[in-house]
Structure 1
Amino acid sequence: MKRMQAWGRVYLLVVFAVMYMPIVYLMYYSFNSGGAMHDFQSFTLKWYRDVLSDDRLLIIVLNTIVVALLSAAVATILGVIGALAVYYVKRQRTKNALLALNNVLIVSPDVIIGASFLLLFTIAGIKLGFTSVLLSHIAFSVPIVVLMVLPKLEEMSPTLIDAARDLGASHWQVLSGVVLPFLAPSIWAGFFMALTYSLDDFAVTFFVTGNGFSTLSVEIYSRARQGISLSINALSTLLFLFTMLLVIGYYVLSQKGGRLYGIGGRK
């Protein structure tokens, strides 16, 4: 058994090394004064200064953050409502069907989703740009929030709601005073996950963005096609670090939720 565990650890180390070595390589050469992805000469922050002094890029960063925050906020609200709706469905077959529909946007290839949104916006007469990107990000973020919130709902003890109703609480008081506080860690976790997905998305955004509007992922792709520049490395490094902060925030909130509520929803 110990030997199997040792081989399991080695396997995990190899997998993580393969996954993260290209990112570490990219980050390492973002500090190269030589301006190339080889022959590291000396440490410099020139490429980061170039990124931070690029007005057009700063506007794109602002666009990306605004879209991510708005889409995550709206998707969190819709996702919580959707999770509650699925939770209170009594027929198991209907609940399974709703969950299957919810998961379609998660398991479907991004290229298909992006092309579908492009056709939808074209038919509906919606101009490609901020609105189309925001709506598409909301759409693919909602299922993520549902999957984050629904398991926490399943953990909630029905006695919490019964006790609140026995004390004379209205439906709104039960929702705002019992259900939502219990779901708060998973709601925040869903928000951070939606925010991360929005910041990182490229395939869907590439299809639905228009002239005069861009996001960081699309901008990085466009710059990479023009040739190797270490400003791309610096920009990618900043985006990766920001995403890691969001993931850490999600992890902290998940751990906080595990400490606040035990099995069966008891504090």
Structure 2
Amino acid sequence: MDKKISPLSKVFLVGVFFILYAPIFFLVIYSFNSGGTMYNFEGFTLDWYKELFSDTRLLIIVLNTAVIALLSALISTIIGVIGALEIRSFKRRQTKNTWLSLNNVLIVSPDVIIGASFLILFTMAGIQLGFYSVLLSHIAFSVPIVVLMVLPKLSEMSPTLIDAALDLGASRLDVLTKVILPYITPGIFAGFFMALTYSLDDFAVTFFVTGNGFTTLSVEIYSLARRGISLNINALSTLLFLFTILLVIVYYFITQRNKPSGMGVRK
């Protein structure tokens, strides 16, 4: 039986969400301020959004960010699924735990350390800082996230499904494409959307490895903020927030669609 939530718990929950979302809504509201400041709301206007869309350089940065996010999410999802399958295939628990620990290093490590490490690596390897350095860095820190999203689905899958498919004459490739991958599809989508979100939001690592005129939205917003408060930042941040909400909604409907309709017949 579910326990009834106490009024104090509800108040605490509302307070937490208010602290989290109040600054975002404040930013969104003032993106329509005709006064041009963050202090007094003088009237409603869309001038800041018009100015934002008329900035060709900023639109190119948005395109760069989208390309990096989509490519890194796609490649890291493929690598992460392969990695999760390999980790799942290990028989010895100690070996599996060792690889899991190595996978989690990039997740628990500070972003500043990761960014500095990639900067040193690319400098020593002679890789020019720019599109490819940012892409490789985003793939590197997104792969462990995908692995963690896919592994629970693999753990839920009964080994008897694979044995039954093999007994019925399916090849190893058929087992992978027709049994395993369809079963772990929700985990794959979760890993993809998490990698996409992390890539869009990342600043610390990107700040270290970007260069040669190439930049992303997170770094650009930081640069604009250092020059002074401008409501262009509010407009840009509002669009990013709405895009993130859209991603969450799409992910929700995909996961709901991929849920099994029933639990089957039990004896």
User: Shorter chain as normaliser: what TM range?
Assistant: over 0.9
Matches within 5 A, 1:87-126: 87-126=88-127
Counterpart residue number, 1:49: 50
Counterpart residue number, 2:192: 191
Deviation, structure 1 residue 247: 2.2
Aligned mates of 2:216, 2:125 — CA distance in 1 = 23
Deviation, structure 1 residue 152: 0.3
Distance 1:179-1:163 versus aligned 2 partners, 3 A rule: same
Counterpart residue number, 2:149: 148
Deviation, structure 1 residue 249: 2.3
Aligned mates of 2:263, 2:251 — CA distance in 1 = 19
Aligned mates of 1:86, 1:224 — CA distance in 2 = 43
Distance 1:166-1:186 versus aligned 2 partners, 3 A rule: same
Aligned mates of 1:117, 1:47 — CA distance in 2 = 36
Q: Secondary structure at the match of 2:74?
A: helix
- Quick one: percent identity of the two aligned structures? 70
Aligned mates of 2:218, 2:8 — CA distance in 1 = 37
Could you tell me which runs of 5 or more consecutive residues in structure 1 were left unpaired when the two chains were aligned: none
Aligned mates of 1:7, 1:35 — CA distance in 2 = 40
Distance 1:166-1:243 versus aligned 2 partners, 3 A rule: same
Aligned mates of 1:49, 1:262 — CA distance in 2 = 52
Counterpart residue number, 1:66: 67
Aligned mates of 1:173, 1:2 — CA distance in 2 = 46
The residue identity in structure 2 corresponding to 1:242 is F
Counterpart residue number, 2:208: 207
Kept after mapping to 2: 8 A contact 1:192/1:250: yes
Aligned mates of 2:241, 2:107 — CA distance in 1 = 22
Kept after mapping to 2: 8 A contact 1:193/1:250: no
Provide, for residues 22-77 of structure 1, a one-character-per-residue CA deviation record: whole Å limited to 9, x for no partner: 11111110000110001111111111111111100010001000000100000000
Aligned mates of 2:260, 2:12 — CA distance in 1 = 31
Structure number with the higher helix fraction is: 1
Deviation, structure 1 residue 159: 1.7
Larger CA deviation: 133-142 vs 161-170: 161-170
The residue identity in structure 2 corresponding to 1:185 is P
Aligned mates of 2:252, 2:191 — CA distance in 1 = 11
Matches within 5 A, 1:155-166: 155-166=156-167
Deviation, structure 1 residue 2: 7.0
The reply on whether 1:217 has 2:215 as its aligned counterpart is no
Aligned mates of 2:67, 2:79 — CA distance in 1 = 18
Aligned mates of 1:46, 1:87 — CA distance in 2 = 54
Query: What is the CA RMSD across the aligned residues, in angstroms?
Result: 1.7
- Runs of 4+ more than 6 Å apart: 1-4
Counterpart residue number, 2:183: 182
Deviation, structure 1 residue 88: 0.7
Q: Give the TM-score normalised by structure 2.
A: 0.94
Provide, for residues 97-121 of structure 1, a one-character-per-residue CA deviation record: whole Å limited to 9, x for no partner: 1111111111111111111111111
Provide, for residues 176-199 of structure 1, a one-character-per-residue CA deviation record: whole Å limited to 9, x for no partner: 111111111211121111011100
Could you tell me which runs of 5 or more consecutive residues in structure 2 were left unpaired when the two chains were aligned: none
Counterpart residue number, 1:232: 233
Deviation, structure 1 residue 210: 0.3
Kept after mapping to 2: 8 A contact 1:188/1:250: yes
Q: Secondary structure at the match of 2:42?
A: coil
Aligned mates of 1:259, 1:232 — CA distance in 2 = 43
Aligned mates of 2:71, 2:261 — CA distance in 1 = 28
Provide, for residues 108-153 of structure 1, a one-character-per-residue CA deviation record: whole Å limited to 9, x for no partner: 1111111111111111111000000000000000011001100000
The residue identity in structure 2 corresponding to 1:86 is I
Aligned mates of 1:16, 1:170 — CA distance in 2 = 50
Counterpart residue number, 1:6: 7
Kept after mapping to 2: 8 A contact 1:129/1:208: yes
Q: Give the TM-score normalised by structure 1.
A: 0.94
Deviation, structure 1 residue 259: 3.7
